[in-house]
Every structure is written in C-alpha cells, then in structure tokens.
Amino acid sequence: MKYILQSGILLAAVVTSPAFGADRIQLAQNVQPTPVNPLPGITSTVTTCMTTCDIQTMSCLNACVPVGPVAAPNPAGAAPCTLSCVNSQLVCKSNCR
C-alpha cells in the first residue's frame, strides 16, 4: 500500500508539472496539416454531368415500381426494368469525361 501511495504522488507530480505541460503544447504546435488534393480530372462540369445521370437513373428506377393495383404482374418482377436503368446510368456516366 505504501508503494502505491508513493507511486500515485510521483505520478501526480509529473503530470501536473509545468515542464510536462510545455512538452504537450510544443508537440501539438509542431503538427503540420496535411494538404487536401482534389481528384485529378474531376471538374464541376464532370460533377454536374454525373449528378444529372444519377437524377435520371432515380427517375427511371421510380418508374420501375408499380403504384396501385397491377392488372398483369410481370413474372420477372422489376429486375429487367432496374437493370435497364442501371445500364443507362453507366452509359451516361461514361460519356461525362
């Protein structure tokens, strides 16, 4: 018990010493920020084009979901429609660059 108390006092003295605090401040001030490099080839025109492709795809995918009662449901479900929308999105985005 005696050693635990002495170790605690020594640890408290080291942690609260001005020299220990100055080292922490100095280390924090020596950290250099990492510059952020944008992705090469990405411009606002490309971003706008890709966003337009995504919006068109969402409209297409929304049209794949039937609303209300369906007279004759497709046995394949919405899979062919969804696949067509995603393929159109890939073609659209490949034309953005």
pLDDT tens for 40-77 read 667 889 899 999 999 999 999 999 887 877 777 777 77
What are the residue boundaries of the structural domains of the chain, listed by start? Answer: 43-63+80-97
Query: Residue 27: enclosing H or E segment and its boundaries?
Result: helix 18-29
pLDDT higher at 56 or 11: 56
- d(CA 57, CA 65) in angstroms, rounded, equals 13
Per-residue pLDDT at 14: 56
In this structure, what is the dihedral angle of CA atoms 65, 69, 70, 73, given to the nearest 10 degrees? 80
Residue 29 — pLDDT band, cuts 50, 70, 90?
low
The pTM assigned to this predicted structure is 0.53
